[in-house]
Amino acid sequence: NETLSVPKILSWKSGELTAEWLVDPLLLNSRGELFGGYYSVLADVALSYTVMTCISDSERFKTIDLRVSYFRPAFSGKIAINCRVINKTKSFVHTEAEFISEEGKQLAKASATFAIVPA
């Protein structure tokens, strides 16, 4: 987890999770902006934790689709990550995450689908 610099979970309940992540200067590009691909790492980790809040102990899952839309760059500071389950069936869990700056601006949005697989 330290290698990936994963987000810190602040709260969770069934189908919802709130986390925060401090922008790591090592992940900034040559313009001083957070490398866009890192949102995918943050989304996959945070949304996986969110799925864990609503599946049974006998269920396992894997990411089968992940999409990220970018709205504005992040340069430094904390990013809030608000996640929720949109829909859950016996086979799939659909989720979304919003990335919000300390100033309350939406930085990016991610959606992911997870397949429920045999344990």
In angstroms, what is the C-alpha Rg of the chain?
Answer: 14
In a structure prediction context, what are the per-residue pLDDT tens digits for the chain, which is 119 residues long? 556 678 999 999 999 999 999 999 999 999 999 999 999 999 999 999 999 999 998 899 999 999 999 999 999 999 999 999 999 999 999 999 999 999 999 999 999 999 999 77
The order of strands in the sheet holding 92-100 is 8-13, 16-22, 78-88, 92-100, 106-117, 60-70
* Alpha-carbon gap, residue 85 to 119, rounded angstroms: 21
Query: Which residue carries 């691909």 as its tokens?
Result: 37
pLDDT for res 90: 94
Nearest to 75 by CA among 35, 115, 15, 117: 35
